[in-house]
Amino acid sequence: MSLLEEYARVTGPDVIAQLQQLTQPLQGMKLVHVSSTRSGGGVAEILNKMVPLTRELGIDTQWEVISGDSDFFECTKGMHNTLQGNRIPLGDHLLQSYEATNAHNAERLRPTLEAADFVFIHDPQPAALLGLCPNRRGKWIWRCHIDASHPYRPVWKYLRQFVAPYDASVFSLAAFAQELPHPQYLIPPSIDPLAEKNIDLDEETIAEICDQYQIDRQRPLIVQISRFDRFKDPVGVIQAYRLAKRYLPGLQLVLAGGGAADDPEGEVVLDEVKTAAAYDADIHVLLLPPDANLEVNALQRAADIVVQKSLREGFGLTVTEAMWKGKPVIGGDVGGIRLQVVNYHTGFLVNTPEGAALRIRYLLHQKERLEEMGAKAKALVRDNFLITRHLREYLTLMVALLN
């Protein structure tokens, strides 16, 4: 069965026929995505699935990854943190490293990028490449995955000089749009229902993976899967768990995460989480390798409730993944989580550990409500957040830019 036929089985054949129709004017064109890591984190997760599907539709698609040293990634993680609201200026030597690293990568990528019909540049890391490709012939789109609702102005002002000359930019939410001299499109991300991380699993596989991590399937379980990043508030999740455990003594918590090659802060945050977890045997802090897709899938399915207590969130694929598995999500009332968690319907939006604990207790005592919310959550993802909808919007954007 071809890849497209496999998708048709999940979404229905019309959705695929529509994608094929939209791709007609784009047949044989060259599309290049550029990001800063091939594994770990949401951007890699999306591109790993999006690139083969776009190729299958007849667009000559490539994915390039930029390389950089520790100063560069310290700088871009600083940009990420400040665009999400931290107010810490970036030192001149870091900004010099940002520009030098982009220039270095441009040497290698220039022929590919200048020849492409469309270039999608993901996030701030490679944003300066456009200015370094003076003979570009195609349309360039800056795709921002960050919760840019409250950017630290000096850093946005610096980045803006690189982003302004793009032909368009894409944000996940209206609240993130910026003052820019080009069209801005609102396209939320998506998950791939055929990915190992999202396919159905039998009970035996789920049980085996839970055994491997000493998780007791007879007792209630809450799970947060996230990179170890302060914006994901893992320590806040531990506080919520502790508050709820006073009333639910059997409660277990899994905090599972892996690093991303472009995220230098993971280890420090993991240490903070381990300290906060102390010696509680019912808190499982799991450091997973980047290819632990089956494990993530099983942990999300084993959970009674999935938590994503972020303080900022561009979208939150872990929310989508959990909802697709029929789980209600207790999520931070921020960014892209608000697009997915419809308060009281597909889960609960919370602002504090106390609020999260209250909702955990409520749902674990109201199993019917939990299941009803989980079913609504799955339907919301099927209708809005699968890769086929995401690709349709990218294709529409590309066709619009052709004219």
**Binding residues for ligand UPG, per CB under 6 A?**
41-43, 45-46, 145, 172, 189, 197, 225-227, 256-258, 288, 292, 296, 313-318, 321, 336
Give the residue carrying structure tokens 């999400």.
84
CB 226, min distance to ligand UPG, A? 6
Distance CA 177, CA 283 (A): 38
Q: Which is nearer to ligand UPG, 45 or 233 (CB)?
A: 45
CB 353, min distance to ligand UPG, A? 20
Q: Which is nearer to ligand UPG, 187 or 342 (CB)?
A: 187
Taking the alpha carbons at both ends of the chain, their separation in whole angstroms is: 35
Q: Which is nearer to ligand UPG, 224 or 252 (CB)?
A: 224
Q: Which is nearer to ligand UPG, 145 or 376 (CB)?
A: 145
> How many residues in total does the chain contain?
403
In this structure, are residues 224 and 254 in contact, taking their beta carbons and an 8 Å threshold? yes
Of 146, 137, 182, nearest to 162 by C-alpha is: 182
CB 318, min distance to ligand UPG, A? 4
CB 84, min distance to ligand UPG, A? 8
CB 17, min distance to ligand UPG, A? 27
Distance CA 305, CA 208 (A): 20
CB 289, min distance to ligand UPG, A? 8
Q: Which is nearer to ligand UPG, 76 or 172 (CB)?
A: 172
Encoded tokens for 350: 């919370």
Q: In this structure, is the dihedral angle defined by the CA atoms of residues 112, 113, 118 and 123, taken in order, positive or negative?
A: positive
Distance CA 316, CA 318 (A): 5
Q: Which is nearer to ligand UPG, 16 or 260 (CB)?
A: 260
Listing DSSP states for 233-301 in one string gives: -HHHHHHHHHHHHTT-TT-EEEEEE---TT-TTHHHHHHHHHHHHTT-TTEEEEE--TT-HHHHHHHHH
Q: Which is nearer to ligand UPG, 191 or 364 (CB)?
A: 191
**Integer CA distances (angstroms), 220 to 155, 194, 271, 306, 347, in order:** 43, 28, 26, 11, 17
Distance of CA 1 to the CA centre of its chain: 29
CB 79, min distance to ligand UPG, A? 13
